[in-house]
Structure 1
Amino acid sequence: MSQSIIKTQQLRFSYAADEGSVPPVVLDGVDLEIAEGSFVAVLGHNGSGKSTLAKHMNAILLPTGGKVYVSGIDTADEDALLDIRRTVGMVFQNPDNQIVANVVEEDVAFAPENLGVPSEEIRRRVDEALRQVGMYEYREHAPHLLSGGQKQRVAIAGVIAMRPRCIVLDEPTAMLDPIGRSEVMKTIRALNRTSGVTVVLITHHMDEAAMADRLVVMAKGKIVSDGPPRQVFRQVEALKSVGLTVPETTELLWQLRQAGVDVPLDALSDEECAQALYRLLQ
């Protein structure tokens, strides 16, 4: 069993409420362990607590109850904040909010400069990070002239240049068109597969969640399902009951099963679904 890089124990969180009112509980006793090197998607409806959970993973938010550990360090330890942020990098929904410079390579260099990395090392990291996200030839471009997907890949490069062991992406494709979404998802997968970076992807897109090795489903501040995507997506009724859909392939096979046709529910990809239907028709 690989070492866990992020661990929450009975994590509870409430945002501050107006005077006299009881603050609503956003996270309600979350126990979660994320193994080093894994690719985990956290799926949930708006208001399920998934983004609030993400912000606990690099101490943007601190628990109102329970504990969060990053590589064994308690996030409530103020002296360890820099170590925590070096270990876990965050990428947010809107790439425009993360871009700080007027030239792509300067933007990617911004975080390592702030961490006091020597300049030759920064140069090496910036080039490497931009190559990793397929944006090296745009290194001298102005970020504001790039497409949404390209900007988000630059934002990811900026986090990679810090050399974190884990990257948490909070709905990174929410503001992108289908092409941008696919570029970003390809980048995220490659990061995990080729560089061994732990990836935690917060999403409400079923097709994105299906790419992960493990799927954690949240509803009303609790984890309601946790396992490989094939296993989780087979629980069609349970997911629908918390306001989530399932991938179109699973939905089609589920409808067929409702009609009494014997097909497997775990054929996730288009190819597997087509194969299942082909076998049925033979």
Structure 2
Amino acid sequence: MDMIETKALEFAYPAEEGEKPVLALRGVDTAIEKGSFVVVLGHNGSGKSTFAKSLNAILLPCGGKVYVEGMDTQDEACLLEIRRRVGMVFQNPDNQIVANVVEEDVAFAPENLGVASEEIRRRVDDALAAVDMTAFMTHAPHLLSGGQKQRVAIAGVIAMEPECIVLDEATAMLDPIGRQEVLSAVHKLNREKDITVVLITHHMNEAEEADRVIVMDDGRIALDGTPKEVFTQVEPLRTMGLTVPDTVDLLDRLRKDGLDVPLDALTVDECAAAITAALAKN
């Protein structure tokens, strides 16, 4: 079953006076399956963040449609329900943290939804446990690291009990440790709570463990498939100004030097095994 569906989705930002609006999304047709982990890649200006903000009605189409479990994002009567089902986590966690204590911040959204106090307590505890931040419950958010802050922001979204979480470049401002913390947290949510995850990123390595990778270019979907199907398209990716994972880059260079290795050994272990096997054949 589909969590989100887009049909011929178009979006244009307002233009300067006298200028024509330029489409940021140009007829995007796709469906995101419930419970899946989908990574959306693309260089700056490819339309990936515009696509992300269209998934829970932050941005509304100027053409085509977006449906969240069958609900039209342009139907105002469905807006609250759509936002409850699809939670957003943005690039800068400081823009999403509103309270002076971690547990109060996580409780903020359920309180605004009118959830009963006992239920809020349960949701806060569950959400902090889900992102391994229970030990920081009474801490001040501004004293946390970037990765910890982003996990608190994710916990705040989880407390709304969404069926889908969209992370719009949520790891972009983090160091490698912070990025790994956030990725581990969202993979755990996807695996253990069956929450649909849409991760918008420009870090290729974050896509290796996804169910599916969508590559955007010039407001359109350029490539769509499993990580192995997408990352073996080395030249098309480079033409779009994108790199490939380090493992694929190494395998591609070895192939050009005459070593018979596959391009779809994405993980470090798979890559090492592929090179070892190829060298043993020689």
- Regarding TM over 0.5, the answer is yes
What is the alpha-carbon distance in structure 1 between the residues aligned to residue 139 and residue 170 of structure 2? 22
* SS in structure 1 of the partner of residue 272 of structure 2: helix
CA deviation after TM superposition for structure 1 residue 40, in Å: 0.2
Given candidates 149, 160, 163, the residue that maps to 1:162 is 160
SS at match of 1:154: helix
The within-5 A match list for 1:165-184 is 165-184=163-182
- Tell me how far apart the structure 1 counterparts of residues 177 and 116 of structure 2 sit (CA, whole Å): 36
Q: Deviations over 1:190-235 (max 9, x none)?
A: 0101110000000000000112110000000000000000110000
- Counterpart position of 1:81: 79
Q: TM-score w.r.t. structure 2 length?
A: 0.98
If the length of structure 1 is used for normalisation, what is the TM-score? Answer: 0.98
Q: Which amino acid letter does the alignment assign opposite residue 60 of structure 2? A: L
Return the letter of the residue paired with 1:79: A
Spell out, residue by residue over 1:122-160, the C-alpha distance to the aligned partner (whole angstroms, 9 max, x if none): 000000000010000100000000000000000000000
Q: Distance in 2 between matches of 1:181 and 1:60?
A: 25
User: Which residue does the alignment assign to 1:137?
Assistant: 135
**Equivalent residue number for residue 65 of structure 1:** 63
Tell me how far 1:11 sits from its aligned partner.
0.3
Q: Distance in 1 between matches of 2:48 and 2:105?
A: 28
Equivalent pairs counted in the alignment come to: 280
> Take 1:143 and 1:183, find their aligned partners in 2: how far apart are those partners?
16
Task: Please give the alpha-carbon distance, in whole angstroms, between the structure 2 residues aligned to 1:19 and 1:96.
Answer: 33
Paired amino acid for 2:26: D
Q: Give the CA deviation at 1:278.
A: 1.0
- 2:14 is matched by which residue type in structure 1? A
**Which amino acid in 1 is paired with 2:276?**
Y
1:20 Cα deviation (Å)?
1.5
Aligned to 2:30, the other structure's residue is in SS state: strand
2:181, 2:16 → 1: CA distance?
42
- Secondary structure at the aligned position of 1:263 is classed as coil
1:102-117 equivalences in 2 (<5 Å): 102-117=100-115
* Residue aligned with 1:264, SS: coil
SS at match of 1:245: coil
Structure 2 match to 1:52: 50
How far residue 265 of structure 1 moved from its aligned partner, in angstroms, is 0.5
Deviation (angstroms), 1:271: 0.2
Q: Structure 1: any 5+ residue segments left out of the alignment?
A: none
Match of 1:275 in 2: 273
Which AA in structure 2 matches 1:59?
A
Identity of aligned residues (%): 68
The aligned residue for residue 230 of structure 2 is: 232
Amino acid at match of 1:221: G
Measure the CA separation in 2 of the matches of 1:212 and 1:117. 33
Tell me the distance in 1 between the aligned counterparts of 2:118 and 2:210: 35
Q: Does 1:42 align with 2:50?
A: no
SS in 2 for 1:261: coil
Residue from 168, 185, 188 that aligns with 1:187: 185
**In angstroms, what is the RMSD of aligned CA positions?**
0.6
Cross-structure match for 2:29: 31
Deviation, 1:260, is: 2.2
SS of match in other structure, 1:21? coil
- Tell whether 2:244 aligns with 1:209: no
Q: Look up the SS of the partner of 2:237 in the other structure.
A: helix
Deviation of residue 86 (structure 1)? Answer: 0.6
Opposite residue 126 of structure 2, the aligned amino acid is E
Give per-residue Cα distances to partners, 1:160-214, cap 9 Å, x unaligned: 0000000000011111111101100100110101110000000000000112110
Q: Tell me the residue number matched to 2:97.
A: 99
Is 1:150 matched with 2:148? yes
C-alpha separation between the residues in 2 aligned to 1:101 and 1:281? Answer: 57
CA distance in 1, matches of 2:36, 2:261: 30
Aligned partner (choices 92, 117, 120) of residue 118 of structure 2: 120
- CA deviation after TM superposition for structure 1 residue 75, in Å: 0.3
Deviation >4 Å, runs of 4+? none
How far 1:281 moved relative to its partner?
2.1
Distance 2:30 2:278 in 1: 39
